[in-house]
Structure formats: C-alpha cells, structure tokens
Amino acid sequence: MSEFVEQKIIEAVKELLTGRVNEVLGNWQFMFGIFEDSEFKSNTSIVPVVKLSGCERTEKERIICINAYSLTISLTVPETADSEFFCYGYSSAISKALGENPTLGGIVNRAIVTDTKYIPPKVANCGQDWQVIITLRVTVEGTVYAR
C-alpha cells in the first residue's frame, strides 16, 4: 500500500471510475463503453488519464492546515455519430458517483467537480477523437496520510 495521500487520492479516483461509475453507466439504457485501468484501448472501453497537482489554497485553508489539490480526469472518446452524447453521459456519471461519495471512501475531506470541458475533433468526421476533461478540487485536512 502507498504511504502518501497523493497516491491514495489517485487510487481512490481510479477505483471510483472502474467501480461505481461503471455501475451507473451500466444502469442506463444506452450502451456506454466502460472505464478500465489498463493500457488496452478499444471502442468498448475508456482508459482515463488521472493527473494530480497542488493548487492555490485560501487564507482560511492555510490557517487551519487544509491541503488543496487539483485533479484532472481526461477521457478520449472515439468519434461516432453519438460521441457528443457519450461525453455528456460520462461527465454525468462521474458527477453522480462523486456526489454519492465526496470523501472518496474517507481518503479526502471533500472532492467536487469544478470544471468540465468537452473538446470536439478539430475536423469533423475525420476519425479524430472527442475529449472530455473533468477537473476536481480535492481538499485534505492536516496530514491525514494513508489509512
């Protein structure tokens, strides 16, 4: 097991994506590709890229020792007639799963979606992929390292 809270945050987000988000997508009537944590890429699976960085803290957060992070989930969605619809669905499923578990299983104090970007291909119908970039703000109180 990892010792650093940063690693635990990334692991918890990947677990959320491959667990609860896949369940939410599976309950919908449309055929969404599922999230996988591997190098394998196909039309039936989405491999998210999760990146974590520190972000600016408010004065209150500095005073009461709350660490703040910016976490980015990047998804590449293969271009089809329904790609834009799938992008909205993935974003909605992630927001729903995060709303149900804003502490990521007790690893953080709070994780919220702060921004979502939908990026279409530069040239339509050329086989380029759509992209969804979801940014989260994650706060961790004090030095609550790996549980």
In the predicted structure, residue 2 carries a pLDDT above the cut 60: no
Write down the domain spans for the chain: 5-38+61-141
pLDDT digits (tens, 9 = 90+) for 29-58: 888 888 888 776 666 788 899 999 988 778
Average pLDDT over residues 9-26: 93
Tell me what pLDDT residue 3 has.
74
Q: Could you give the percent of the chain with pLDDT greater than 70?
A: 91
DSSP 75-135: EEE--STTHHHHHHHHHHHHHHHHHH-TTTTTTSSEEEEEEEEEE--SSTTSSPPEEEEEE
Quickly state the pLDDT bin for 10 (edges 50, 70, 90).
very high
Which one, of 113, 114, 110, 115, lies nearest residue 138 by Cα?
110
User: Residue 144 pLDDT more than 80?
Assistant: no
Q: What is the pLDDT of residues 74-118, one digit of tens each?
A: 999 888 888 899 999 999 999 999 999 999 999 999 999 999 999
Class of domain 5-38+61-141: alpha beta
What is the per-residue pLDDT for 43?
A: 61
Q: Assess contact for 132 and 117: CB atoms under 8 A.
A: yes
